[in-house]
Structure formats: structure tokens, C-alpha cells
């Protein structure tokens, strides 16, 4: 099936959303057990962590950890936002830099100014959007970023969206209570799909959509570690307690260039494989054998592949053993722990 389809459904009572591109599962979101990123708390400072410059906080959902903080006294209230998912048994990662995100706008309380996404290049469009932003948010004390989805959007819908995000920011930041409380819930999969999958697509909301559009079959394949790389070979994506190990094997090609071909195929396929499985943290690639002169080409391909991925990923570099390491934000819950 050609084209893009967004399917909104549930799996074992969990809200979920799937993005199919030309009949292939390209992205998948599912509700987890932990509070989702974007959740905002009024937390209470608990105890500092010596040597790390951080502090544990108390929240309605349990212990949270805030990095690089100074001058907080135990019991002091502060506003924090969930920034990702924690490893099992660890505290919720939070930040004091609050962002209020929607499909069209991001309100930035600590970064004043009105800005338009760089992805919108047409000067007339940028000017029109800035004019609208000044009209709706010119008197607001907060910063505003207009996202790429604003290009071609209805001006009335844009204005309503900006106003709604500003109102939410005012409500949260203006709350003067000092009690521990959840002030805003993070977006679930259906809202995230509307917010972030902005390209034109067919939207399916009828129950049973996952079965009808092949999503369940694709999820079944993701239970295993194997990820086919076509004629180039296969890569195996295996999460462990310490890290995510990725092993690249060549196929039937016995030529000198077989290893380089398999590694380039891995570079292109890796962002999707990690995204669908909800994997992050430390990632180590055990690549197929290739000449050192091919490393730069591989790095360029890997960098280009992750440029189009929404999750922050740092390409760390090569180890003495010839492995390649990455560090990826834990922006999603791990898929295998949530499937029935």
C-alpha cells in the first residue's frame, strides 16, 4: 500500500499509534507505565547527590532526579518537567527548563523571543507567521517557536493553538501553591501522533485498525532481535541491562566490499530499528569487518540517517576494539516490555 497512514488504536488496553509508510511500519508509539515526557510537577527537593551536582526530588509519581542544580534546600518546591524515561529501578529524569508543546507552537518560558522553524524557508510565509505570532503573543512574557507544521496551516487554527499553549503556560507558572502536585500531564500516543506526525496522511481511528493495516504483524517481528538489511546481510539489535548491542553480519556476498556494504545498510536502518523498539542509552555497534579507510564513509552515512530522527542521538566514536558507540536519549518506553 502506497502513501502514509496513521492508525490510532489500543493494544491490551494501552493507547497506541502507528505510522505506516508505503505499507511498512515507520514509527510506533505506545502508552507505558511511567509518566510520559512533558509531564509537569511541582516537586519537593529531597536530598542532594554528592559528587554529581544533582538532587533527588519527591513527586506524586515517585522519586525524580534533577541534574546540575545548586542552592536547593530540602523541602523547597520547584517546577520540573519529565524529560525522558528512566532505566528500570531508577528515578524519573526531570528538568527545570519547561516547554509547552503542541502541533504548531512551542512556548519557551525561559527563552524570550518569537521564532519560526528553519524548515520554513519561504520569506513571505515566515513574515506572515511572525505577524500572526506578534498579534497573538506579542504581549506575552514567554518565548514562542512556530513549528514546521505551521507551513500551510489555517491561520485561525494557528492562533487558537498558540493561545491555548500560552494559557497553559500561564496557568502552570502562575500556580502559587507549595504542595507536591502534578500540574500538567504529558501527551499520550494519540496526541503525540497528532502533534509530531504532521505530514499529510490517511488517519484511521476505527477499532481493529492495527490488525487491518498489518501493524500487529510488524510488531510481532519486532519481538525478535533480527533486522534484515536486504541482500547486504542482517543486523541484530539486542538490549542488555548495561547497553544496547548491535551486531552486523554480512549475507551471501563474499566480496571484499561485503562488510562495508552491510555496515552502510546498518547505518541507514539503525534509526528506525531503535525508534520502533523504544531503545536508548548506550549503544555499541559490532560492525562487519571493513577497511579503516571506509570508516569515514560509514560515519557520514550514520550521521545523515540520524539527522532525520527526532530523538537526540550523539555519535560518540570508535573504540580501541573497532566498535562504534552512540548515546541516545531514552525518549520512549521499551517496546518489548509493553507488548502482551
pLDDT at residue 88 greater than cutoff 90: no
Residue 279: Cβ within 10 Å count: 22
> CA 329, 6, 336, 207 torsion: positive or negative?
positive
Query: How deeply is 88 buried, as exposed, middle or buried, from its count of CB atoms within 10 A (0-12, 13-18, 19+)?
Result: exposed
* CATH of region 40-97, choose from 2.60.200, 3.40.470, 2.40.50, 1.20.950: 2.40.50
pLDDT at 304: 97
Query: pLDDT tier at 221 (50, 70, 90 boundaries)?
Result: very high
Place of cell 504483524: 217
Round the CA-based radius of gyration of the chain to a whole number and report it. 22
CATH class of the domain whose range is 100-179+182-187 = alpha beta
Higher pLDDT among residues 165 and 140, named by residue = 165
Residue 6: Cβ within 10 Å count: 21
CATH 3.40.630 fits 223-337, yes or no: yes
- pLDDT > 70 fraction of the chain, expressed in percent and rounded: 100
Query: pLDDT tier at 14 (50, 70, 90 boundaries)?
Result: very high
Mean pLDDT value across residues 91-111:
95
Whole-number Å distance between alpha carbons of 336 and 340: 9
In the chain, the N- to C-terminal Cα span, in Å, equals: 27
Strand, coil or helix: 35: coil
Query: pLDDT tier at 176 (50, 70, 90 boundaries)?
Result: confident
Domain chopping of the chain, boundaries: 4-31+197-215, 40-97, 100-179+182-187, 223-337
Query: How deeply is 217 buried, as exposed, middle or buried, from its count of CB atoms within 10 A (0-12, 13-18, 19+)?
Result: exposed
Residues 275-317: tens digit of each pLDDT: 999 999 999 999 999 999 999 999 999 999 999 898 999 999 9
CA angle 157, 160, 163 (to 5 degrees): 150
- pLDDT > 90 fraction of the chain, expressed in percent and rounded: 87
Amino acid at each position: 500500500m502506497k502513501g502514509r497512514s496513521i492508525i490510532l488504536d489500543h493494544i491490551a488496553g494501552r493507547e497506541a499509534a502507528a505510522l505506516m509508510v508505503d505499507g511498512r511500519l515507520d514509527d510506533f508509539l505506545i502508552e507505558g507505565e511511567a509518566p510520559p515526557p512533558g509531564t509537569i510537577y511541582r516537586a519537593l527537593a529531597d536530598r542532594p547527590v554528592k559528587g554529581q551536582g544533582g538532587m533527588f526530588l519527591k513527586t506524586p509519581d515517585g522519586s525524580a532526579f534533577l541534574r546540575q542544580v545548586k542552592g536547593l534546600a530540602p523541602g523547597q518546591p520547584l517546577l520540573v518537567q519529565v524529560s525522558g524515561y528512566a532505566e528500570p529501578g531508577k528515578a524519573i529524569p526531570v528538568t527545570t527548563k519547561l516547554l509547552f508543546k503542541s502541533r504548531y507552537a512551542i512556548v519557551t518560558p525561559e527563552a524570550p523571543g518569537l521564532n519560526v522553524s528553519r524548515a520554513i524557508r519561504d520569506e513571505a510565509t515566515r513574515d506572515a507567521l511572525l505577524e500572526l505570532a506578534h498579534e497573538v503573543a506579542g504581549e506575552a512574557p514567554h518565548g514562542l517557536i512556530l513549528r514546521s507544521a505551521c507551513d500551510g496551516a489555517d491561520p485561525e487554527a494557528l492562533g487558537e493553538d498558540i493561545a491555548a499553549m500560552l494559557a497553559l503556560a500561564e496557568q502552570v507558572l502562575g500556580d502559587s501553591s507549595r504542595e507536591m502536585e502534578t500540574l500538567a500531564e504529558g501527551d499520550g500516543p494519540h496526541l503525540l501522533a497528532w502533534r509530531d506526525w504532521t505530514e499529510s496522511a490517511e488517519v484511521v481511528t476505527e477499532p481493529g485498525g492495527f490488525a487491518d493495516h498489518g501493524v500487529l504483524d510488524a510488531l510481532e517481528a519486532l519481538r525478535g532481535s533480527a533486522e534484515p538489511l536486504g541482500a547486504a546481510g542482517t543486523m541484530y539489535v539486542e538490549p542488555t541491562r548495561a547497553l544496547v548491542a548491535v551486531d552486523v553480519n554480512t549475507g551471501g556476498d563474499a566480496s571484499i566490499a561485503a562488510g562495508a556494504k552491510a555496515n552502510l545498510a546498518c547505518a541507514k536502518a539503525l534509526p528506525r530499528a531503535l525508534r520502533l523498539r523504544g531503545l536508548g542509552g548506550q549503544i555499541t555497534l559490532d560492525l562487519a569487518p571493513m577497511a579503516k579507510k571506509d570508516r569515514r564513509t560509514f560515519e557520514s552515512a550514520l550521521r545523515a540517517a540520524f539527522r532525520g530522527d527526532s530523538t537526540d542521538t550523539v555519535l560518540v566514536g570508535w573504540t580501541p576494539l573497532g566498535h562504534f558507540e552512540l548515546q541516545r536519549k531514552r525518549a520512549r518506553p521499551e517496546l518489548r516490555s509493553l507488548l502482551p
